[in-house]
Amino acid sequence: MLPEFNVKSKYPLLTGAAVCLFVAARCFWLWQPERQVLLHQRHFLDAVGDRKWKKIEAFLADDFRDRFGHDKAWALRESKEVLRHFFALTIEDSETAASFTTPEGAGPNMATVTAFLKLAGSGTALAEYAKSEVNRSREPFTFAWRKQSWKPWDWQLTTVDHPLVGRGEWQ
């Protein structure tokens, strides 16, 4: 003989199923490549503004290079040198757009984000100079991101390009 079905027991089961469905749909939406890259971009800029060096280092790929051939260690060292002159720093981005390249149909593994950056904050004379140079620039910054593994959230920055990046005046 079959046990009787208790009507009250189906509500927790349906609630649990609805919650699981909502979480799965949210993850599917959030893990789309464009959303992940733009989310990483925002978190990277926030980490730079807050000068959270461990986070910044984690965002940079081991093979990071700028247009002048400077590597990850150089980028971290020089960023620390420039950003130490800021007492407070906020980095705002506008007109941000992401584009993807797909090598050999393997899925969107490379992304390029272009953004116009504006710096706000206060600091020493060098900070004010850096802020004015970035804010008056008419060219966007270009950030190249690469998906490192099968995980949808595993993106790292491979290069940053802008006429101001790597210039001798920053050294």
pLDDT in the model for residue 169: 47
Q: Is residue 7 a part of any domain in this protein?
A: no
pLDDT digits (tens, 9 = 90+) for 4-20: 656 566 677 667 766 76
pLDDT range class, residue 48, cuts 50, 70, 90: very high
Q: Taking the model in full, what pTM does it have? A: 0.78
Q: Is residue 140 a part of any domain in this protein?
A: yes
Integer Cα distance of 160 and 74 in angstroms: 13
**97-101: which pairs have CB atoms within 8 A and are 24 or more residues apart?**
98/34, 98/37, 98/38, 98/41, 100/33, 100/34
pLDDT in the model for residue 128: 94
DSSP 107-153: ---EEEEEEEEEEEEEESHHHHHHHHHHHH--S-EEEEEEE-SSSTT
pLDDT in the model for residue 110: 87
pLDDT digits (tens, 9 = 90+) for 61-94: 999 998 888 999 999 999 999 899 999 999 998 8
For residue 150, the enclosing domain spans: 32-170
Q: Is residue 21 a part of any domain in this protein?
A: no
pLDDT in the model for residue 150: 86
Q: Counting Cβ atoms within 10 Å, is residue 41 exposed (0-12), middle (13-18) or buried (19+)?
A: buried
Per DSSP, what are the bridge partners of residue 147? 155
Structural domains counted in the chain: 1
Residue 159 DSSP label: E
Q: Is residue 16 a part of any domain in this protein?
A: no
Q: Is residue 10 a part of any domain in this protein?
A: no
C-alpha closest to that of 132 among 147, 122, 146, 144: 122
pLDDT in the model for residue 73: 96
How large a percentage of the chain has pLDDT more than 90?
49
166 versus 54: which is more confidently predicted? 54
Integer Cα distance of 27 and 140 in angstroms: 31
CATH number of the domain residue 117 falls in = 3.10.450.50
As given in the structure block, the two tokens for residue 62 are 């081991």
Q: Is residue 126 a part of any domain in this protein?
A: yes
Q: Is residue 24 a part of any domain in this protein?
A: no
What average pLDDT does this structure show over 104-130? 84
**To the nearest whole number, what is the mean pLDDT of the chain?**
83
pLDDT in the model for residue 170: 42
Q: Is residue 50 a part of any domain in this protein?
A: yes
